Chain A
Amino acid sequence: MLIESALLVPTVGALLIGLAGRYPNLREAITLLTALTLFVIVSKLYLALDAGIVIELELIEMIPGLSLSFAIEPLGILFGLVASFLWIVTSIYSVGYMRSHKEQHQTRFYVCFALALASTMGITFSANMFTLFIFYELLTLTTYPLVTHSGTDEAKRSGRLYLGYLLGTSIGLQLLAIIWTWTIAGTLDFTEGGILAGKTSDVVITVLFVLYVFGIGKAALMPFHRWLPAAMVAPIPVSALLHAVAVVKAGVFTVLKVTLYLFGIDLLAITGASEWLMYMAAATILIASIIALGKDNLKARLAYSTISQLAYVIMATAILAPMSIVGAGLHIVAHAFGKITLFFAAGAIYTATKKTKVSQLDGIGRRMPWTMAAFAIASLSMIGIPPTVGFISKWYILSGALQTEQWIAVIVIIISTLLNAAYFLPIIYAAFFRQPAYGESGHYAEAPLPIVITLCLTALATLVLFLLPGIPLQLSQSLVQELP
C-alpha cells in the first residue's frame, strides 16, 4: 500500500490544488499537507527497508513481458527522502516568493509542481528501466509548464531548448538503448550485478553505455547541458526544483541505477566500458567551473556550478570504486541541500533588492545577514570544507579515486575545489567586507519571513548532516555492501 500511496498522494494533491485554485490559503495548505504526507510515507518506506521488509508492487503489464513495477532499494529511498523533504521546504519558500512577487498562474504552478513530484516518486521507486523511462518522460513534460511559467518569448525559447535537449536525448538515445537492452537481455529489471553480463560483446556494451549516459539528458553531461542554463528563466522555486529537488537529481540517479543495476560494476570494470565516462565527466567538471567563473549573473553561475557538481557524481560512478560510489550517493544529498540553499538565497536577494548580478552584491551582507550567512555555509559545502556535508561526500569520492589510483580524477577534484572556491568565496567576501556601491540608498532589508526561514533551515541541514550523516551514509554504504 505504501508505494501506491507515494504515487497517489502527490497526484491527488495536484487534483485538489487545482480545485482549490480560487482560495489561495486553502490551496497552499493543501500543497504543504501533501508534501508532509509524502515525506511521512517515504520515511515509512525507509523504516521498512531498514527492517529488511521487501515491498514490491506490480501495477500492470503494459507490453507482454514488461510491466509497470516498483520496489524499494537504498538508492531509491535516499533520493525519495531528499526529494520529499525538500518539497516541503520548497513549498514554504514558494509561498513566500510567489506571493511577494504577485506571480500569475500560481495554481498552475503548484499543480505542476505536485505532478512533477509524483513523477519523481515514480522514478525513485521504479523496479525496471521501462517504468523509470515512463516517469522520466513524465517528469520532463510536467516541468515544462514550470520552466515556461512566465509565458514570455524568452520563456518560450528556453522551453524549446529544455524540451529539445531532454526529449531529443531521451527519445533518440535513451529509448534506443532501452529497447536494445531489452532485445539483448530479455528483461529490464533492475538486478544486482546487472542484467547484461555475458550477453553480448564488449563493443556493444560500450556503445550501449554511451547511449545511456548521453541519453540521460537530465544529468547535464556535456555536450547536452545547454538546457540547464536555459531553464534559468523560470522563477526561483522552479530552479530549486530543477537543480536540487528533482530534475537533475533524477538524471544522476538514473545514471547510478543504470550503472549499478543494469550493467553492474564488475561488467563495466571488465569491459572498460566506463573509462571514457570518467574523462568526459572530468572535462565537464573543469569546463563548467571555468565558465561559472566568468558568469556575472548569479543564477547562471549557480547553474554552471550544478553542471560541474553533477559531473562529480558521474565521475564518482565512473571510477567504479566502492568508496566513490558511496561518495556519489552522498553527494546527491550534499549537493541537493547546498544548491537549494544557494538558489533560495539568490531568490531572497532578488525579492528584496531586485538584484541579479554578482557585481551588484557588494555590502549586501550587512543588510541581509541571515541570507548571506546561509549562502556562505552552502558555498562551503559546495567547495567541500568542513563542517559541511559537502566535505564528507568529497572525501569519499577522493578516497575512492586514490584507492583505484585514478590520478586524473584526483587532480581534477583538487583543481575543481580550487575553482569552486574561486567563484564562491569572492561573493561572500564582497557581501560582507565591501562597502555598498556609491549611491546605493539601502532601503531594503531581509527577504520575507518564509523565504528566510527555509533557507536557514537548509543551510542548517548541511551542517547537521556533517555531524550526523547517519541515514544518507548508511543508505549509500548499503549500495556497495550488497554488491558481491
Chain B
Amino acid sequence: MISQHLPVLQVVVPLLFAPLCVLLRRHTLVWCVALLVSWCSFFIAILLLQQVLAEGEIVYAMGGWDAPWGIEYRLDILNAFVLLIITGIASVVMSFARESVLKEIAEDRIYLFYTAFLLNLTGLCGVVITGDAFNMFVFIEIASLSSYAMISASQQRQALLAAYRYLILGTVGATFILIGVGLLYAMTGTLNIADLAVRIKEVENTRTIITAFAFFTVGLCIKFGLFPLHYWLPNAYTYAPSVVSAFLSGTTSKVFIYVLLRFLFTIFGAEYAFDVMLLDRILMVVAILAIISGSLAAIYQDNIKKMLAYSSIAQIGYMILGISLVSVSGLMAGILHLFNHALIKTALFMIVACIFFRFDSVLLKDLKGVGRQMPWTTMAFVIGGLSLIGTPLTVGFISKWYLIVAALEKDWWWLAALILLGSILAVIYIWKVVEVIYFQSSNTDSQSSQFKEAPLSMLIPVWVIILANIYFGVNASLTTGIARQAAVYLLGGP
C-alpha cells in the first residue's frame, strides 16, 4: 500500500520532519532526525528507481486529481536517476555532518540549520519528481530559499554577502523561469508537462513561445551556474559551511540541469530547441568557455574551496557540452557526468571539511605538509583529485571517455582536444594542492609532526564516497546503462 504512494512520500517525508527539527533543539537529536530522514529518502529513491527500471514510467496523481487539472508526479528513468543522486549525496553528507556542523555553525543555530537542510532536500526532490511546470517553480524556490539560509549559517561574515548575492541572482533567475511558465501557460492553457509537450506543437512558431524559451533557458542557466551567469557560485561555495558546500556542489547544479533537460527535450522538443532555436551552438560555445575559464581561474586560487568552486564551473561546462552535442552519446555523457561529478565534488568538499576541522584554514599557505599529519584524508584527496582529472579506474575517466566518443562521432576532433585540455588544466590545479600538502615546507615547527587525523565519523563517509568513485569507475555498467536509457528516451521520446 505504501509502495503506491512512494512518489509523494519522497517529498513529504523531509517536509514533515523539518518542523520537527525546529521543535527539538538539541543538536545531536536534530542531527539524528536529519540523518534518518536522508537515509529514508535514499531508500525510497532506490525503490522508485527499481520500479521504473522494471515497469517503466510511474505516474502519480496528487490527491487523486488526474492530470491535466491536478498536479501529477511523473517518474521516468531520467528523474529517477537524478533522485538517486540527490538522496544519495544527502545521506552521505548527513552521515558526515555532525562534527563539521558543530565546528562551523554557532551552536544556537544548529537546529535551524538542519531544518533548512531538510527543506532543501524537500525542494530538490520536489523539483525532480513533479510533472507540473508551476509546481516545479515552487519547489525550485523552496530549494533555493533554504540554500540561501544554509549558506548564511556560516560564521564567516563573507558568507552573508555571498548568500545575499546568491539570493538576488537566484531570484532573478527564478522569476525568469516564472515568466517562462506564465507565457507557456498563456499560449497553451496547461501547466502539466506531458500536456504541454503535446499542446506546444500547435503554437510553436509564435513569438511568445520564443520569448518563453529564452526566459527559461537564461533563468535556468543562472540557477545552475553556467558561464557567464555563474557570478554567485564561487563565493557561495567558498564561504558556506563545508557541509553545505559539499551538499550544494553535489546537488543544485544536477537538479537544475535536469530541469533544463526536461524543458528542452520533453516540453519544447529537440527539433525546436536545437534546429530552430540553434541552442546547441550557443550552449557548446558557452560550455567550452566555461571549461577553459573555470579551469584557468581554479589554477590561480589560494583558497582550496574557491578552487573547487571554479572547478565546478568547469565541470558544469562538461555536462552542458555533452548535452549540446544532441546525440545519444553526448546526452549519455552529460547525464552520466551528473552522477559522476556529484561523487567527485562532494567527496573533495568533504575532505576540505576534514582539513578545516583540524587546521582551521582552507588557504594553501597554511596547509603545508599537512599530508604527514592527516594521511588518510590527504590520500583521499589524491584519489578524488585523480577522479577530477579523469584518471582511469575512477568515475571521472568514464565521463571523459563518453564525452570524447560523442565528440569524435561527429568528427569534431578539435572539441575532443579541448576536452582533454580541460583535463590537463585540472592536473595543474589539483597537483598544486597535492604538492603543498605533501611536500613539507622548510619552516615548520616541531608541533606539526603530531598526528592529527580527522575524526572517524567524518573519515568513514569520506572513504565511502571515495571508494564509490573507484567502484563506479571500474564497474560502470549500471550507471552507463541507465544514462544511455535516459538519453535514448529523451531523444526519441514524446
Contact = CB atoms under 8 A, between A and B. Distances in A.
- State whether these chains interact: yes
Interface of A: 60-64, 68, 133-134, 137-138, 141, 148, 151, 156, 159-160, 163-164, 167-168, 171-172, 175-176, 179-180, 182-183
Interface in B420-441: 420-421, 423-424, 427, 431, 435, 439-440
B255 to A, nearest CB: 27
Contact of B405 (A61, A62, A168, A183): A183
Nearest to B419: A176
B439 A156 contact: yes
B477 interface: yes
Contacts of A148: 439
Contacts of A183: 405, 408-409
A63 B409 CA distance: 17
Nearest to A207: B413
Interface of B: 386, 389-393, 398, 400-401, 404-405, 408-409, 413, 416-417, 420-421, 423-424, 427, 431, 435, 439-440, 473-477, 480-481
Given A62-B474, A151-B440, A163-B427, A180 B393 contact: no
Contact of A172 (B386, B421, B474): B421
Task: Classify the interface of chain B: helix, strand, loop or mixed.
Answer: helix
Given A172-B423, A175-B420, 18 more contacts: A64-B477, A64-B480, A133-B392, A134-B392, A134-B393, A137-B392, A141-B386, A151-B439, A156-B435, A163-B431, A167-B424, A168-B424, A172-B417, A172-B420, A175-B404, A176-B417, A179-B416, A180-B413
Most buried by A among B392, B405, B473: B392
A179 B435 CA distance: 30
Nearest to B392: A134
A179 B424 contact: no
B476 A62 contact: yes
B183 to A, nearest CB: 42
Contacts of B386: 141
Contacts of A156: 435, 439
Most buried by B among A60, A64, A141, A176: A176
Contacts of B393: 134, 138
Nearest to B422: A171
B202 to A, nearest CB: 40
Contacts of A163: 427, 431
B476 A63 contact: yes
Contact of A171 (B390, B398, B408, B409): B390
Contact of B424 (A63, A141, A159, A171): A171
A382 to B, nearest CB: 35
Contacts of A176: 404, 413, 416-417, 420
Contacts of B417: 172, 176
Given A134-B392, A171-B420, A63 B401 contact: yes
Contact of B474 (A60, A64, A133): A60
A179 B390 contact: no
9 contacts: A62-B398, A62-B474, A68-B474, A137-B391, A151-B440, A163-B427, A171-B427, A179-B404, A183-B405
Contacts of B481: 64
B408 A180 contact: yes
B401 A167 contact: no
A137 B423 CA distance: 14
B122 to A, nearest CB: 36
Contacts of B401: 63, 179
Contacts of A167: 389, 424, 427
Contacts of B400: 175
Contacts of A179: 401, 404-405, 408, 416
